């Protein structure tokens, strides 16, 4: 019986390892190619690992495109949006979870219809609005349509509803106003949900491509994904695959490093918030 269990578990692990390698192969190929010379990439027989780490690809890729501006724009839009979203979803979630006013549940359902509307269907009206406001080719124009988040409001509302009323009553007896209640009573309790939403928000806006592509025109406001696409068009023309992979690694590297370092925190945040991938 024990032998059968051992063989069964061993088979499961082997299958998982094989599928993991298949999934990781593009990432492995991208990483190794970023350190190869142009000659090594097209040499036969093919070698997965470079004979010598070539860091010149990263220096050349960084110098060929204004990645400093792209990074600055991406950091500002991603983390600036997160800061604004935390404020807006916290206020909205508290209102829908704890305040009592006519039509609250109907308004909440109406608010959630944003989750059922695809991004593509709102691009044209959003673009017209941003254009009329004179925000084309600005960071604010990239950020503005995402100031509110239906998903974040939903997650935080559910978390707020799970907070015992006794804690809220105790805070009111201590003289806390609404904002003090949210800051000192509710937010510390729902911190796992906030961390989980923050991970989703930053990852999504760091990797977003379509909307920044439409509203940005120069490196003054272009994000990393748009800048990488422009760089790729130039690199593909000259078959500079090593430079392209180096530039791609520059773009995705921070997220990979963050996930590797804070993997345990990520998993705990999603588990404690009740979210499942």
Q: Tens digits of per-residue pLDDT, 175-188?
A: 888 888 888 888 88
What distance in Å separates the CA atoms of residue 73 and residue 54, rounded to the nearest whole number?
28
* Domain 60-273 listed as CATH 1.10.3720.10: yes
pTM of this structure:
0.82
* Residues 102/166, Cβ–Cβ less than 8 Å: no
Confidence band, pLDDT 50/70/90 cuts, at residue 271: low
pLDDT value of position 276? 45
Q: What is the mean pLDDT of residues 108-130?
A: 86
Is residue 122's pLDDT more than 90?
A: no
Ordered by start, the domain boundaries in the chain are: 60-273
Percent of the chain, pLDDT > 70? 90
| Alpha helices, H only, the chain | 2-34, 38-41, 56-64, 67-98, 104-112, 119-132, 139-143, 150-161, 165-173, 178-181, 187-189, 191-207, 210-215, 224-237, 241-261, 263-273
The lowest-confidence range among 50-59, 132-141, 233-242 is 233-242
What pLDDT score does 127 carry? Answer: 93
């Amino acid at each position: 019986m024990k032998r059968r269990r051992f063989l069964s578990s061993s088979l499961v692990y082997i299958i998982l390892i094989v599928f993991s390698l298949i999934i990781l192969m593009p990432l492995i190929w991208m990483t190794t190619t970023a350190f190869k010379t142009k000659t090594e990439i097209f040499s036969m027989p093919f070698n997965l690992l470079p004979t010598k780490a070539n860091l010149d690809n990263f220096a050349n890729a960084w110098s060929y495109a204004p990645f400093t501006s792209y990074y600055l724009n991406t950091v500002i839009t991603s983390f600036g949006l997160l800061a604004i979203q935390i404020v807006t979803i916290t206020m909205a979630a508290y209102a829908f979870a704890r305040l009592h006013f006519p039509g609250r549940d109907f308004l909440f359902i109406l608010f959630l219809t944003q989750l059922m509307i695809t991004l593509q269907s709102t691009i044209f009206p959003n673009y017209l609005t941003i254009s009329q406001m004179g925000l084309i080719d600005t960071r604010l124009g990239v950020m503005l349509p995402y100031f509110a988040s239906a998903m974040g409001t939903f997650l935080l509302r559910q978390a707020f509803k799970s907070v015992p009323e006794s804690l809220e009553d105790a805070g009111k007896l201590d003289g806390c106003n609404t904002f003090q209640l949210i800051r000192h009573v509710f937010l510390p309790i729902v911190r796992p949900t906030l961390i989980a939403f923050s991970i989703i928000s930053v990852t999504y806006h760091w990797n977003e491509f379509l909307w920044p592509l439409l509203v940005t025109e120069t490196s003054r406001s272009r994000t990393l994904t748009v800048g990488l696409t422009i760089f790729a068009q130039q690199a593909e023309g000259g078959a500079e695959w090593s430079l392209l992979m180096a530039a791609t690694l520059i773009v995705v590297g921070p997220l990979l490093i963050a996930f590797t370092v804070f993997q345990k925190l990520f998993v705990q945040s999603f588990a404690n918030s009740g979210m499942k991938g």
